[in-house]
């Protein structure tokens, strides 16, 4: 990672992942913010902040997924990225165009690196990966 990205746009894009919905804003958001997954060049989702592929919980029927963050990841301000940041980033979507995501999923923090995603209906791992690559689900620092 690293380097410089130069993008020419006519208007300043919205850099808030929860409010970005136009092309320039989505491009800027994906360049600046990190998510649990990211869309790779081949169009498939690839792990970004997650240490490993989410695991379906027994008895969850494809609705409950255990996730672990990679160790030692920090925001630009030096603050350690924690599971509660994932939960808080999802909860802030309530009053945005992406509020459907908040109604669709809940995040329960287990410890600083582990959280459980609970969905309103069952989906396969591949669908979950695509969902978690949504730029609106970028993880932001609480401050």
Q: Which backbone phi and psi does 37 adopt, to 5 degrees?
A: -125, 165
Tokens matching residue 65: 């997924």
Is the pLDDT reported for residue 103 higher than 70?
A: no
Tokens of 67: 């996730």
* 83-100 per-position pLDDT tens digit: 999 999 988 887 777 777
Q: How confident is the model at residue 106 (pLDDT cuts 50, 70, 90)?
A: confident
pLDDT for 1: 60
Q: How far is the C-alpha of 93 from the C-alpha of 95, rounded, in Å?
A: 6
Is 105 a residue whose pLDDT tops 90? no
Band (47; pLDDT cuts 50, 70, 90) = very high
Using CA atoms, how far residue 9 sits from 16, 28, 47, 138, in Å, is 16, 10, 29, 22
Q: What's the CA gap between 87 and 18, in Å, rounded?
A: 14
How is residue 79 written in tokens? Answer: 């603050």
Backbone angles phi, psi at 11, to 5 degrees: -125, 155
DSSP bridge pairs for 50: 69
| Mean pLDDT of the residues in the chain | 87
- Residues 90, 137: contact at Cβ < 8 Å? yes
Q: How far is Cα 14 from Cα 96, in angstroms, rounded to an integer?
A: 13
Which one is predicted more confidently, 70 or 27? 70
């Amino acid at each position: 990672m690293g380097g410089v990205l130069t993008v020419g746009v006519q208007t300043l894009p919205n850099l808030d992942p929860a409010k970005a919905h136009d092309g320039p804003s989505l491009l800027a958001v994906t360049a600046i913010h990190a998510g649990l997954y990211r869309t790779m060049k081949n169009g498939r989702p690839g792990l970004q902040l997650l240490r490993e592929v989410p695991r379906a919980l027994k008895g969850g029927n494809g609705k409950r997924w255990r996730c672990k963050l990679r160790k030692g990841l920090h925001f630009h301000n030096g603050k350690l990225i924690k599971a509660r940041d994932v939960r808080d980033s999802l909860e802030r979507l309530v009053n945005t165009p992406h509020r459907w995501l908040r109604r669709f999923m809940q995040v329960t923090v287990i410890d600083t690196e582990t959280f459980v995603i609970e969905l309103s209906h069952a989906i396969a791992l591949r669908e979950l990966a695509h969902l978690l690559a949504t730029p609106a689900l970028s993880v932001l620092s609480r401050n």
